[in-house]
Structure 1
Amino acid sequence: MVVEGEWEPEPPRRAPDFPIKEIPPIMVKVFRSIAVVFVILIIFSVMFGSIFVSVGAGEVGVKFNQFGGVEDDELGEGLHIVPPWVSVTKYSVRSETYTMSGVTDEGQIVGDDQIKALTVEGLTLGLDITVRYRVIPDEASNVHQNLGTNYAEKIIRPTIRSSIREVVSTKTALQVYGEERQLVAGEMLTNIDNALGSDGIIVEEVLVRNVVLPTRVAEAIEAKLQADQDAQRMIFVKEKEQLEAERKIIEANGIANATIAKAHGEAEALGIINEQLAKNPNLINYKYIEMLQGQEIQTMLVPTDQGIILDASK
């Protein structure tokens, strides 16, 4: 019963009746399975280590299965999910360098690490060498299985030293030290690449950065190189002088030909003049008078046998 004048609360509002679609039972099972798997992965990650592996740029990941050993399929760049019983070792597939030098702290080994090699003459040379190489991505699992992460010291270093000595043993000191150094470096590159190719490593470049010769040999080679340069300079000077002589001969021939041509022209002109004078002897008097016109002449001498050539009565 409501008394007049008393406040009566409004009845609660009803939500609009919209049809709500029920989630299919199959989807509920799928979501539930995904959640269970996710929880299991988290538990395994906590118990055995992370199952998420990130492989950076310029790297590949080599998988080691605790139950089967090294697996052949390498992991590329990016984020990967691996089972907890699989560990991943990352290898760089970018260009790397290995340097052996006589300068302290310049190479991988501290101290004098210069390669000593004998030439075909039996002379000992010291060589500072830098080799640029990289691991073949598809062969990283073989590198990991056969050589391990310390492959640079295990295989690259001894292979470089052995290959360098093998090439130098077939060359003279002048070939290694002089203008053929790049050719010798090319042979070293081929030799090292052939040796390391079967191990999954590509050699990209060999730099012969410095060659140290015995003092007396260095002086002899320097003297020979200087003599060769002097000989080349003399050949250049001789060729230059020969070209200058040939130029002067050509110039003299040109002047002589011009003089001869001029003489021929003058002779022909005189011949024509004589021919005309023979036909008309008075022509010379006419030319003489024509030359005198316009000139102030007070006295003039003429041949007595020519008669009067000017009319004095006018």
Structure 2
Amino acid sequence: MAQQFFNRIGQLGLGVAVLGGVVNSALYNVDGGHRAVIFDRFTGVKQDVVGEGTHFFIPWVQRPIIYDIRSQPRNVPVITGSKDLQNVNITLRILYRPIPDQLPKIYTILGQDYDERVLPSITTEVLKAVVAQFDAGELITQREMVSQKVSEELTERANQFGFILDDISITHLTFGREFTMAVEMKQVAQQEAEKARFVVEKAEQQKKAAIISAEGDAQAAELLAKSFAEAGDGLVELRRIEAAEDIAYQLARSRGVAYLPGGQNLLLNIPTNLQQQ
């Protein structure tokens, strides 16, 4: 009896273990920020989208396909041409995510790598169409408008495939080597022209200053001549007295200055015969 009891306990435990394995194999988890699509071998892709949590499915008959519905970044580089036929290297940074309700359609048409299949192609198409509407200079000066047009057209194209673009920005924009060299040469020429114009303006100002200074000197000389004519020798004598006063003041402040008596003969205490020699 005891042996039969233990046998039944063992069989029951084995059955529970097998049942637990079967149940465990029929469960799957959908993490936060994800959604699941169920593929059934008999009915195909089910149109119901499974939300977050733990769910049942029929092993072998059904298979869950998990999608990440959070925003994901992607850089798409494109080489295209501007309106004036200049080569443009442009890189677009895109934040994208699938529309949850469109996941069955996305899986049926595009599969799980829908971003690889769609984003590079539609981005290249839209960028080529938009950039061709602007010349090289406008791509630099009107970059905001270019980005806006790209965003509007690319968002519309992405919606046709069932996903959303949360952000679109131009992160890299350069031109071909020939155009870059031409721009640099133009800038150098402009700088040289500005420098030459500054030199010319400076010379003109110096010329005007010289003319004004000469006119002033001429007017001063004319005034002095007029004053001399009107005042006669009196003005000259006044200037001589003022100069003598200034010299006397300067000599008085100087040290070691020997003062000589006035008079025309400054050869003091020198014999007459030496003077004659």
What range describes the TM-score normalised by the shorter chain of this pair?
0.5 to 0.7
CA shift, 1:212, in A, is: 1.3
CA shift, 1:127, in A, is: 0.9
1:210 partnered with 2:147: no
Aligned equivalent of 1:82, options 54, 57, 73: 57
Flag structure 2 segments of 5+ consecutive residues without an equivalent. 1-14, 195-277
Flag structure 1 segments of 5+ consecutive residues without an equivalent. 1-38, 101-113, 232-314
Aligned equivalent of 1:53, options 9, 28, 32: 28
Q: Distance between the aligned counterparts of 2:18 and 2:176, measured in 1?
A: 67
Q: Distance between the aligned counterparts of 1:41 and 1:196, measured in 2?
A: 49
Alignment size in residue pairs: 177
Identity among equivalent pairs (%): 21
Larger RCO, structures 1/2 (Cα 8 Å, 6+ apart):
2
CA shift, 1:221, in A, is: 4.8
Higher share of residues assigned helix: 2
Q: Distance between the aligned counterparts of 1:203 and 1:41, measured in 2?
A: 48
1:73 is aligned to 48
One-letter identity of the residue aligned with 1:204 = D
Q: Distance between the aligned counterparts of 2:18 and 2:119, measured in 1?
A: 41
Alignment of 1:163-202 (within 5 A): 163-176=126-139, 178-202=140-164
CA shift, 1:214, in A, is: 2.3
Aligned equivalent of 1:153, options 116, 127, 130: 116
Question: Residues 80, 41 of structure 1: CA spacing in aligned structure 2 closer, same or farther, 3 A cutoff?
Answer: farther
Q: Distance between the aligned counterparts of 1:188 and 1:163, measured in 2?
A: 7
CA shift, 1:216, in A, is: 4.1
Secondary structure in 1 matching 2:134:
coil
Q: Distance between the aligned counterparts of 1:42 and 1:182, measured in 2?
A: 64
Q: Distance between the aligned counterparts of 1:115 and 1:159, measured in 2?
A: 11
RMSD: 3.0
Aligned equivalent of 2:67, options 91, 97, 111: 91
Q: Distance between the aligned counterparts of 1:123 and 1:40, measured in 2?
A: 73
One-letter identity of the residue aligned with 2:34 = E
Q: Distance between the aligned counterparts of 2:144 and 2:103, measured in 1?
A: 31
Aligned equivalent of 1:116, options 58, 64, 79: 79
Deviations 1:235-284 (A, max 9, x none): xxxxxxxxxxxxxxxxxxxxxxxxxxxxxxxxxxxxxxxxxxxxxxxxxx
Alignment of 1:118-133 (within 5 A): 118-133=81-96
Report runs of 4+ in structure 1 exceeding 4 Å deviation: 39-45, 219-224
Q: Distance between the aligned counterparts of 1:65 and 1:203, measured in 2?
A: 30
Q: Distance between the aligned counterparts of 2:19 and 2:124, measured in 1?
A: 51
User: What's the TM-score once normalised by structure 2's chain length?
Assistant: 0.57
Q: Is the 8 A contact 1:174 1:221 kept in 2?
A: no
User: What's the TM-score once normalised by structure 1's chain length?
Assistant: 0.51
CA shift, 1:148, in A, is: 0.1
CA shift, 1:83, in A, is: 2.5
Aligned equivalent of 2:97, options 117, 134, 138: 134
